[in-house]
Amino acid sequence: MKAMPVKFSIKDLERLSGVKAHTLRIWEQRYELLQPSRTDTNIRFYNNDDLKKILNVSLLNNHGYKISSIASLSDENLLKEAGKLLHKFEKEDDQIENLMLSLLDWDENKFEETVKNAIEHFGLENTMEKIVFPFLRQLGTMWQVGIVDPAQEHFISNLIRQKIIVEIDKLGIGNSQNEKRAVLFLPNNEMHEMGLLYIHYLCRKQGIKCLYLGQSMPFEDLRAVYNTVKPDFLISVLTACFNAEETIDFLNKTKSAFTSSRVYLSGRLLVGENAPNFAYPPNMTVFKEFDEFKKLISDTGTKIS
């Protein structure tokens, strides 16, 4: 599948590459790095090739290459120099650009190989927290400006999902003395599973026994499971399932129904710009970063050996 043709404004390039629009204009005027097309009304726009070039230019520039030297490279040599850096796997940030370049070319093999090699070089946790999740945030931006369609996004998400499941399976049952138990779920109509799946890995690595319920769990069914299992922890991630009123309703129901367990919650609906003003009870904690969650569960017992 080829990437669909896209017209980018300079602000789109800024959002996707991290290079300020002012800097892009200087590079364009002084070094002729880009040669934008123009609409019938004389408005400049850029294409996929321009974005890929700027990603490679930015990569070299971030590694100390002078922009004047980069500008002197042919397109072929620019790709070669960028490829050398990407294959060294020295910095996690570089691999975000590698994944994006793979996506722009719709190179499935390169995408999968990049994730696989990143896990081997950096470990699953660094790969997920410093490469994959930042990339997925970029992917959301790419979807908004029309670079990827839902089918492509689903393919990428499922590929990453499979990698996490493989790492969970590697942990096995283990010999942990940790008797703590967690129920992990997503609320009804919540389908964004990646964050919860990674949390499942973190819990299992800590030796916590997990009941993973997955996507779109009706509240009454969750309550029935809770009353049967009586877990120490109830964990969920709210990304896109509720409007503001529904989010408050879910929090109120959770606050009333699960008073005997620690409740750990995260997700854009709770930690984003429009997070609700809610009085969380002592047993309910909202975390923004995975490092916060690791600290929350770090004193629950012995890790898997």
**Does residue 302 carry a pLDDT above 80?**
no
pLDDT band at 284 (very low <50, low <70, confident <90, very high): very high
Q: Beta strand pairing status for 262-266 and 284-286?
A: parallel
Q: How confident is the model over 34-60, as a mean pLDDT?
A: 89
98-154 pLDDT, tens digit each? 898 888 777 888 888 999 899 999 988 999 999 999 998 888 777 766 766 777 777
The per-residue pLDDT for 43 is 85
* Average pLDDT score over the chain: 88
* Domain over 174-297 is classified CATH 2.130.10.10: no
86-102 pLDDT, tens digit each? 888 888 988 998 898 88
Q: Where are the domains of the chain?
A: 10-166, 174-297
- The 3-class SS string of 222-279 reads HHHHHHHHCCCEEEEECCCCCCHHHHHHHHHHHHHHCCCCEEEEECHHHHCCCCCCCC
230-273 pLDDT, tens digit each? 999 999 999 989 999 999 999 999 999 999 999 999 999 999 88
Q: How far apart are CA 7 and CA 37, in angstroms?
A: 9
**CATH architecture of the domain with residue range 10-166:** Orthogonal Bundle (1.10)
Q: Given this chain, do its domains 10-166 and 174-297 carry the same CATH topology?
A: no
Contact 247, 270 (CB under 8 A): yes
144-203 pLDDT, tens digit each? 667 667 777 777 888 889 889 999 999 876 556 668 999 999 999 999 899 999 999 999
What percentage of residues in the chain have a pLDDT greater than 90? 57
